[in-house]
Amino acid sequence: MKLLFAKIYRLILMAIILFAGVMAERTGLIEYLSDPYEYPVIIELILQHIHIVALSMAFAAAIGLAAGIILTRRRFRKFAGICMYIIGLGQTIPSLAVLALAMSFLGIGTKPAVFALTIYSILPIARNTLAGIMAVPPSLIDAGKGMGMTPLKILFEVELPNAMQVILTGFRIALIINIGTAALSYLIGAGGLGDLIFTGISLMQTEKLLAGAIPITLMALFADFLSELLGFLLISKGLRISK
């Protein structure tokens, strides 16, 4: 049965690849990508997109992890609800509105784009960090205390390793949302692959639209794969087996 499903999967995959190739040829995408004048521009826009995503995710991960860890400490737990509500406001506001608000006091360019994407990406990381640490069995923490471990050592050697699976899930969600939303950065002069998408829409050039949309899709899939790989590096083998 597994062999049959594997063959069906391969046939479907081959059919999708063949269909995608035919559509790419018919829409003029292949000709557009092979243009020696357009190719360097596309590469530059991809690098701009990666730069914006990398910067905003670095800030979002640092702030989200710090917020999640601080709110799990006993003296700050009573503020967890209100703090998560405040952090969550970044995602309740539409992404275009967040970009517009950032542009109003940071001007146009990369800075407001990174700021807006950071605000938009903090919630999944902070919420999953909080949920993951709070879900660590109290018996493990008590065992650490019984061994004479300091609170800091318990955090890094007991709580974070056991919560890492949940934390990485939040990071993965934030990263994929960030990659897609970063296309809107073009609207405030930050560049990125949104340049090709919005130009293609306004000029009704399908090849330009696809030249921007397809790399974003592939980037999101590759980011999901890297997140999975990161899980193998950060989550201990014993915890992976138990799950």
Residue 168: pLDDT band (50, 70, 90) is very high
* C-alpha distances in Å from residue 222, one per residue of 52, 67, 179: 16, 28, 11
The pLDDT score that the predictor gives to residue 17 is 62
Q: What is the mean pLDDT of residues 156-185?
A: 90
Count, in order, helices (H) and strands (E) of the chain: 12, 0
Find out whether 112 and 102 touch, Cβ atoms under 8 Å.
yes
Residue keyed to tokens 């992890």: 65
- The per-residue DSSP string of 1-45 comes to -HHHHHHHHHHHHHHHHHHHHHHHHHTTHHHHHT-TTTHHHHHHH
Tens digit of pLDDT for each residue in 194-210?
888 888 888 888 888 88
Q: Which of 59, 53, 51 is nearest to 181 (CA)?
A: 53
Residue 153 has pLDDT above 80, yes or no: yes
| Tokens read off for 40 | 């360097």
Amino acid at 178: N
- The per-residue DSSP string of 85-128 comes to HHHHHHHHS-HHHHHHHHHHHH-SSHHHHHHHHHHHHHHHHHHH
Listed in sequence order, the residues at least 6 apart from 8 whose beta carbon sits closer than 8 Å to its beta carbon are none
Tens digit of pLDDT for each residue in 45-69?
899 999 999 999 999 999 999 999 9
Stated pTM of the model: 0.84
* C-alpha distances in Å from residue 117, one per residue of 110, 212, 218, 226: 11, 19, 20, 20
SS3 (DSSP) at 192: coil
